[in-house]
């Protein structure tokens, strides 16, 4: 999809400018690229952090919101706990 977007030209002949939003945690290819940003700016952040990186000849704008991250972590841990409890119940019945 990115290649198709990069190929689009406006009637003026200029390339299309576009923004694509993706959650970085879902893409392993970002792990090595974003690790230094995460370690240096996100780990101790108390408010949203925004940065910019180059990636595949594109401008990658990176944002980290510690409040959202904490909420997502809590929700994920609650789901894991619920699944663990369910697995324990099922194991007891076998």
* Sequence spans of domains, the chain: 1-65
Residue 65 has a pLDDT of 93
Q: What is the pLDDT of residue 79?
A: 97
- How would you class 34 by CB atoms within 10 Å of its CB: exposed for 0-12, middle for 13-18, buried for 19 or more? buried
Q: What is the pLDDT of residue 30?
A: 81
Q: What is the pLDDT at residue 4?
A: 92
* Confidence (pLDDT) at 49: 93
Return averaged pLDDT per consecutive 10 residues of the chain, 94 residues in all: 90 90 75 86 92 85 91 95 94 78
Q: What is the pTM of this model?
A: 0.66
Task: Let me know if 12 is exposed, middle or buried by CB neighbors in 10 A (0-12, 13-18, 19+).
Answer: exposed
SS3 23: coil
Q: Are 65 and 48 in contact (CB under 8 A)?
A: yes
């Amino acid at each position: 999809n990115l290649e198709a977007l990069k190929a689009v030209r406006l009637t003026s002949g200029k390339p299309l400018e576009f923004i694509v939003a993706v959650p970085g945690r879902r893409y392993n290819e970002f792990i090595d690229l974003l690790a230094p940003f995460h370690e240096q700016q996100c780990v101790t952040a108390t408010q949203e952090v925004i940065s910019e990186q180059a990636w595949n000849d594109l401008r990658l704008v990176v944002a980290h919101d510690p409040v959202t991250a904490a909420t997502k972590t809590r929700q994920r841990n609650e789901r894991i706990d619920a699944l663990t409890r369910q697995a324990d119940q099922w194991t007891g019945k076998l």
